[in-house]
A = this chain, B = another copy of it.
Amino acid sequence: MKIGDLAKKTGCKVVTIRYYEKEGLLAPPGRTEGNYRQYGREDQERLEFIMHCRRHGMKLDEIKKLLVFRSHPQRDCTWVTDLVEKHIKNVDEQIASLEHLKMHLEQLRGSCAGGHSGETCGIMRSLGNVGECCASCARCGHPPDGPVLTF
């Protein structure tokens, strides 16, 4: 199986496969005479494992550990359940954060109906008012170096 075939089978991009190899997630595969990478079923399974982990929001270095664990079956898996637990907490926190952001955005939307100039537009005015943003709300005590949500 050449890299393009593997890409088609898994839905992973060719460049991404090479990237995973460079990052040590996939072992350097054998090569053909013409120096093409050649993959087998095991490589495919490993890649699919990686992709499945990615879809679960795992970071590459977490996946790396999971892959090591996968090939050394003698150890205790408690940390895996802990990892999943941690991710669930993380997801919960993100959802809460987004719900809160949504509230603010809806407030923002409600503050202008459109058709205004930069000075009179309610949204622009709201964006300029710092103190206005819910002072009572704990979530709005933006930690000074906390990450800002991006899209």
Known contacts A95-B98, A118-B75, A150-B59, A123 near B69 by CB under 8 Å: no
Instruction: Verify B91–A101 contact, CB threshold 8 A.
Output: yes
Q: Provide the residues of chain B in CB contact with A91, threshold 8 Å.
A: 98, 101-102, 105, 151
Within A76-98, the residues touching B (CB, 8 Å) are 76-78, 80-81, 84-85, 87-88, 90-92, 94-95, 98
Instruction: Verify B130–A94 contact, CB threshold 8 A.
Output: no
Within A28-78, the residues touching B (CB, 8 Å) are 45, 48-49, 51-57, 59, 66, 69-78
Residue of B nearest to A145 (CB): B13
- Number of A residues near B (Cβ < 8 Å) is 68
Instruction: Verify B102–A88 contact, CB threshold 8 A.
Output: yes
Sort A-B residue pairs by CB-CB distance and give the 5 closest, nearest first. Answer: A73-B118, A77-B121, A73-B119, A78-B114, A73-B117
Report A's interface with B, CB cutoff 8 A: 11, 13, 45, 48-49, 51-57, 59, 66, 69-78, 80-81, 84-85, 87-88, 90-92, 94-95, 98-99, 101-102, 104-106, 108-109, 112-121, 123-124, 127-130, 133, 142, 144-145, 148-151
